[in-house]
Amino acid sequence: MRVLTLGFCAFCLWGCGSKGADSQVVLDKSKEVFNWKMVTTWPKNFPGLGTAPEDFADMVKQMSGGRLTIKVFGAGQLLPPFEVFDAVSQGTAEMGHGAAYYWAGKARGAEFFATVPFGLNAQEMSSWIHHGGGLELWREMYEPFGLIPFAAGNTGVQMAGWYNREINSIADIVGLKIRIPGLGGDVLSRAGALVEKMPAGEIYTAMQTGVIDATEWVGPYNDLALGLHQVAEYYYYPGWHEPGVAAELLVNAEVFNRLPQDLQAIVTVAARAINQNMLDEYTAKNNHALEELIKTHGVKVRRLPEPVLLELRNISNEVINEQADQTDLTRRVAASLEKFKSEVIAYHSISEEAFYKARRIK
């Protein structure tokens, strides 16, 4: 009887202890707090580009009940803007926000995931990434660097940039000192321009001091905030070089995989949210900013001549084909993008484009 009593008590204690231990593990795990750093290529709180990472961090904190907090650092606060890719890859920061064409020298073909001259607009780019196979290829490209990319914003079709000389023919591009990244920069370089690559914080001074003759940045909303109308005479369009620039969120794969599944889902959903919200913001703000640039500041808005655009498109095709023919992966990326582009153009010719024309009928 004594043995049975002791055995029963031991069983009860084991049961209570086991249940309590399991509950405690679950409870501790649910309350575990992760504190991350995010580095960006943009000035701290710069409209649109700089505020999107802040919005992302706020959204994640709220949705996770404070279990995942992210401290956002602007360009130059923790490290130089173009070191974001390496910092997240090496684990110096858990996350980064930038644009893929800034790391083209590190990951071959990365620029295809930012924008392609005469390529996809914002709506089409997001569709290719999320429903056309782009995201899978993007993640395959970044996997060797221990990175997981997410689309995290888009500026829409940009302006062709600010110039201190008129562009009347392709010959006017020769010798032009211009700040422009990505494949668009490669195109202008082949056309005879002297291309510079510099972060946002250096553009105004470079224009003011004559280090460069021209620059592209984003569009009216951001260009007004940067004060580029004060240092340039002509504002050209359309943005042939950046028809829909996808901003990206970089996450260190090792630390992401350590997150509980619900927090991983929160990061994913928050990225999709700011991806759309940034485009909404630019669409709303560019209109008023352009009006202010023209009416208040007297900016001279110019359209690039058709022959110039045609020549730039021809050069773009050459550059894109050469960039695509680097590796098996870059060939697959370019082929996927081109296939999606041809299909979406066919439909948009009778939907989006046809509607725009119908809307202007008088």
Across all residues in the chain, what is the average pLDDT? 92
> In this predicted structure, what is the pLDDT of residue 209?
97
Question: Can you tell me the mean pLDDT for 66-88?
Answer: 97
Determine the pLDDT at residue 6: 37
Write out the two tokens for 357: 């024309």
Strand stretches in the chain, DSSP E: 34-40, 68-73, 95-99, 147-154, 161-163, 177-179, 194-196, 214-215, 234-237, 246-252, 300-303
pLDDT at residue 302, rounded to an integer: 98
- Give the model's pLDDT for residue 30: 61
User: pLDDT grade, residue 101 (50/70/90)?
Assistant: very high
pLDDT at 81 over 60: yes
Residue 320 and residue 334 in contact, taking contact as beta carbons nearer than 8 Å: yes
pLDDT score of 19 more than 90: no
How far apart CA 21 and CA 337 sit, in angstroms, is: 52
Q: Is the pLDDT of residue 8 over 70?
A: no
Q: Which DSSP state fits 22?
A: H
pTM exceeds cut of 0.85? yes
> What tokens does 10 get?
């031991």
Q: DSSP letter string over 243-290?
A: SSPEEEEEEEHHHHHTS-HHHHHHHHHHHHHHHHHHHHHHHHHHHHHH
Per the CB < 8 A criterion, the answer to whether 110 and 104 are in contact is yes
pLDDT higher than 50, residue 309: yes
Q: Is the confidence at residue 279, as pLDDT, over 70? A: yes
What pLDDT is stored for residue 214 in this prediction? 98
Domain architecture of the chain: domains with CATH: 34-156+244-283 (3.40.190.170), 161-241+298-340 (3.40.190.10)
- Mean pLDDT score, 231-257: 98
Residue pLDDT, tens place only, 128-187: 999 999 999 999 999 999 999 999 999 999 999 999 999 999 999 999 999 999 999 999
Please write the tens of the pLDDT for every residue from 315-356.
Answer: 999 999 999 999 999 999 999 999 999 999 999 999 999 999
For β-strands 95-99 and 161-163, DSSP reports them as unpaired
Number of H helices, E strands in the chain: 13, 11
* Section 197-225 average pLDDT: 97
With a cut of 80, say whether residue 5 has pLDDT above it.
no
Residues whose CB is less than 8 angstroms from the CB of residue 71 and which lie 6 or more positions away in sequence, other chains included: 35, 36, 37, 38, 57
Token readout for 91 is 């684990």
Q: How far apart are the first and last CA of the chain?
A: 101
CA 37 to chain centre: 18
